[in-house]
Every structure is written in structure tokens, then in C-alpha cells.
A and B are shown apart, each in its own frame.
Chain A
Amino acid sequence: MLSKMLLGRYIPGSSVIHHLDPRAKIVCVVLFMIIVFFANHWTGYLLLILFVVSITKMAGLSLIFLFNGLKLILILLVFTFMMHLFFTKGGIVLIDATLFTIESAGVVQGVYITIRLAMLILITTVLTLTTSSVSLTDAIERLCRPLKTLRLPVHEIAMMMSISLRFIPTLMDETEKIIKAQSARGSTFMTGSLKSRMNALTPVFIPLFISAFKRAEELAVAMEVRGYQGEAGRTSYRVLDWQYKDTLAIITVIIFGVFLFMIRQ
């Protein structure tokens, strides 16, 4: 059930995208998030889709695989579409029922916003699928370093992030194990009313929390005995190496953005 979830997962590979500096990738994704809003008619949206699809291909990921992994997100997309469908007014009235009306502007707006959201989700998924969580947090720590002048504990925040990312798969495994143990005792998660399904979660969450707290305490002790005391005096084993291709990647995204801005109507 959880096995097909793609969020936060990393698939090792050797594509161009995999080899980009994680800092470059993050900057590109942030830029893309802004660029997405430049598109305001169908050519723009078509270009956006084309751009994302080609990046996915460059990363060596199959679209069908991505789609299967993001099925849960589909609910969100459908919901967004529906909201626009029913509540955005304007244009020609397409359906006029007593309870609601659907107008053409709603359909158009719904499609556009859904594409925007889908592209954002896809591009960020490509980022996490092609970047290991360790290099991702390394990159965030480096990118946030200027904030240290504001007395923000950048290193500690990055450490917290990398620890939580590190434990997502562990907790997933644990959850799956507990679900199995409880369903072997006849607990049903897949059938019954919503209420009984909600009740079925208690036997999963209590053991999960207990083990998570235990794990956290053990980890804290293990870090302390190895002399961890925050950032003081730490050097990095992994060194991030910025290359031409990283600059090139950012420039490409900017050019794409500028182009999209120019064809705006």
C-alpha cells in the first residue's frame, strides 16, 4: 500500500539531472516555481508541459511510473479542478442546473490551474527522485548560510531536516510492519465504515509513536556519545562542487522563463 508512494524517495541513477549540483537543482526548482505563473494562455502551458516532460526524460524517469507513484496527489488535482469548475464564473454558460452552473471560464481556469499545480508537483518530485536526501540538506545548508548573520541556527535546522528525511523510510517500514501485525490480528483497514477505519488506526499509531520516541532518544544518546555538539568545529566530508553545467542549467531555466514571459498575452 505504501510501497508505491514516491514522495521523498530517491532513485539512484547516472543521468545529467542526477549529476547536477544539488544547489543548482534547488535554485532551478525555485525559479521554475516562479516561471509557472508567467504562463497565461495555452501556448505557455503547452511549453511548460513540454519543459517538464523533457526534464523527466533527461532524468531517465518514466512518466507512467511517476503517474503511478503520484496517484494520491491526483485527488488534490481533481479537487482543485472541481473548485474552479463550480466557482469561477464568466464566459458562456455550459450547463445550467438548478443547484449549480458551469461556465466556460471555469473550465478554462480549472484546466490551467490544474496544469500549474501538476507541473509544480512533477518538477519537485523529479528533484527529490534524483537527489539523495543527504545532498539535498547539504545544499539547503549552504544556500541558507547567509541567514546565519541573522542568528538563525542554519546548521541545526539542516541537521533536523536530514534526520527527519533519513527516518521517513524507517518509519514507513515500521508502519507497514505494524499494519501487518495488526491486520494479522484481524484489524481491517480496507473495509467498513469511515468510523471503523478511523478506529483501526489507533492500534497502528500508538505502537508507532512509542517506537518513534524510543528511536529518537536512542539517536540523541548515540549522537552525544560520539561528541556531537552542534556546528562547532565540524567540517564536511562531502564537498559540493559547482561546475559549468550547473551554471548552464540555471541559465537555461532563466532563458525559458524570459521566453515564457515574452509570449504572454
Chain B
Amino acid sequence: MNIQLENLVSIYHENTPFEHLALNNISAEFKENTYYGIIGHTGSGKSTLIQNLNGLLLPSYGRVRIGDITLKRKTKQRTIHRAKQRVGMVFQFPEHQLFEETVIKDVMFGPKNMGMSDEEAREKSAYYLKLLNIQESLFEKAPFDLSGGQMRKVAIAGILAMEPKMLILDEPTAGLDPLSHIETMQLFQKIQQDMGMTVILVTHDMNDVYEYTEEVKLLNKGNMIRQGKTEALLTNKVLLEQYNLEVPDIVRLTFDLERKGIQLAKTPRDRTEFIKLYREWRDAHAE
């Protein structure tokens, strides 16, 4: 299932003094089984864009195609409801959405809204909770008694249990400690690879974008500036600096080394690759 945006325009508060053009004529495609990153400075329209991908916002003009569903300015609620099942959305601080008496009930909320029976929803919920390392002993506890990290996992399980075909992550690691940060990002990578899901990551953390995503879309002031392979876009220092985005640490380090005369075979994607390439360089220059 692909998502296609066709000349998408999004205007907030149309016809009021607060009128604001958030997205200006965006055309883009999100393909199956791919890990995408959406980057851009604050106010570039990232949030607006992802909310258009599952019907939380409807386009002011243009359209969004999600498989065989088309979302337009005046799409019926029932159609939007189906779009929400296909495209799961993990918001920033998802633990703020927990409300049920027990962990398992909270996770079942989404699947049940999508028309699953109680048993089926419970089965799915238990499966995804375990996948996220929430032990069965915690299922009947109140979600508010869990630790912050666990609460976030429960909230994420609540989205996964709806079994969406596409997952949107809005700053999924905001406020996490470094260890949980890595854990969470690796978990999403695993989900993406194991289930062949499309994942769209929206974040300010260029290191994560560089390490985990395959394709990147760069937004600025509501315009789509560039779309392409991650390794091409995120190693383009001039482009990133032009749009006030940080260069990923590993890319910067490689560039710095280059200036000192250490020329790696290519720009590495992560630590392991960096160490490997550095060793190769040392071996080649060993005297």
C-alpha cells in the first residue's frame, strides 16, 4: 500500500485573521516497506504533513491517496475512519493519551474502535505488549503506576495493536534517557524490518534520521525542498546548513577527519561501519 500526496495544500484558520498557509502544493509518495524520515526546521510543516496522512487533517486543496482510499477536502467520516486503521500514528509523548483502568484495556481501545471483537483485541494487545517487553504481570495494573518508559511502550503497543500498514512516529524519543532512546529506535527498526511496514519518522534528531531511515523528505516553510536517499541528502552539508538543520555527528566527524588527511572509503552510516572503515584506512596506511 502506497501513500500519494497530490498537490496538497493545507491552510489553517482559513478566512480568519489567523489564516496561515502550512503546506504549499506538496506532491510526494511514500512506498511500501520503506523507512522514511521527514526533516525540517520548526514550523516547516512536518506535523501538518503527517496529520494529513491519516485523515486527522483533511487537505484544503489537492488530495491524499492511501491505497484505494482518497482523502479530499470533504471526505466522509467513515472513510477517514478506515484511513486511521491503515496509518497508525504515534504522537509526541504518547503516554499522555493513556486513560484506561488497566494496561491491557488501554491497548485494546484502538483495536476495538476498529471493530475487532473483545477476544481478538485482547489477543492482539497481549501479543504487541509482549513484543515491546511488557510482562504479562503488568497487564492488569493501572497504566499510571508504570514507569515513564513503560508507559510509552504501552502507548506504542496501543497503536501497533490496531495493525496499521504504515506507522508514523512524531518525535518518538522526546524526553527519553539515552539508553531508552537507542532501545526505542532499534525497536522501531525491528518492527519495520520484521513486518515489512512503512515507517515515517519525524524528528529533529539528525543522527537518528541518518542511522535508521532509507529515504528523506526535506520541508521548509511549507514547501517540499528535496526528496531522496538518506545518504545523499544528509551528507550534503551545504543543503542542511541552508535550512538550519544539523549535520549528523558521524558525517561531521568524517568530514573533519578528511580535513586532517584521513580519507575513509565512503561516509559511514553508523558507529560499527565507521570503526570498520577507519580500521581499513589504518591497515592501508600502516607502516
Interface residues of A (CB under 8 A from B): 3-4, 11, 62, 65, 68-69, 177-178, 180-188, 190-191, 202-203, 206-207, 210-211
Contact = CB atoms under 8 A, between A and B. Distances in A.
A62 B96 CA distance: 38
A186 B77 contact: no
Contacts of B78: 191
A52 B135 CA distance: 64
A183 B77 contact: no
A184 B99 contact: no
B77 A190 contact: yes
B8 interface: no
B17 A11 contact: yes
A174 to B, nearest CB: 8
Contact of B113 (A3, A62, A181, A186): A186
A187 B13 CA distance: 24
A177 B92 CA distance: 10
Given A184-B91, A186-B110, A207 B51 contact: no
Interface of A is mostly: helix
25 contacts: A3-B13, A68-B16, A69-B16, A177-B91, A178-B97, A181-B94, A181-B97, A184-B88, A184-B89, A184-B159, A185-B84, A185-B109, A185-B110, A185-B113, A185-B158, A185-B159, A186-B81, A186-B110, A186-B162, A191-B78, A203-B97, A207-B96, A207-B97, A207-B98, A211-B96
Interface in B47-97: 51, 54, 56, 77-78, 81, 84-85, 88-89, 91, 94, 96-97
Contacts of A184: 54, 56, 84, 88-89, 91, 159
Interface residues of B, number: 30
A14 to B, nearest CB: 14
* 7 smallest beta-carbon distances between A and B, as pairs: A186-B113, A185-B110, A206-B99, A181-B97, A184-B89, A203-B99, A191-B77
A210 B17 CA distance: 33
Given A181-B91, A207-B97, 13 more contacts: A4-B13, A11-B17, A65-B16, A177-B96, A181-B97, A182-B97, A184-B54, A184-B84, A184-B91, A185-B97, A185-B158, A188-B113, A207-B96
A182 B89 CA distance: 10
Contacts of B51: 180
B202 to A, nearest CB: 14
A204 to B, nearest CB: 8
Contacts of A182: 97
B188 interface: no
Contacts of A206: 99
Contact of A210 (B144, B158, B162): B144
B96 A178 contact: yes
B16 A181 contact: no
Nearest to A177: B91
A97 B261 CA distance: 97
Nearest to A174: B96
Contacts of A177: 91, 96
A4 B15 CA distance: 10
A3 B114 contact: no
Nearest to B95: A207
A207 B96 CA distance: 6
B84 A183 contact: yes
A207 B81 contact: no
A65 B15 CA distance: 8
Contacts of B281: none
Contacts of B18: 3
A164 to B, nearest CB: 21
A184 B85 CA distance: 8
A187 B106 CA distance: 12
B16 A188 contact: no
Contact of A188 (B13, B15, B77): B77
Nearest to B144: A210
A186 B114 contact: yes
A181 B96 CA distance: 9
B159 to A, nearest CB: 7
Contacts of A190: 77
Contacts of B114: 186
A169 to B, nearest CB: 13
Nearest to A3: B13
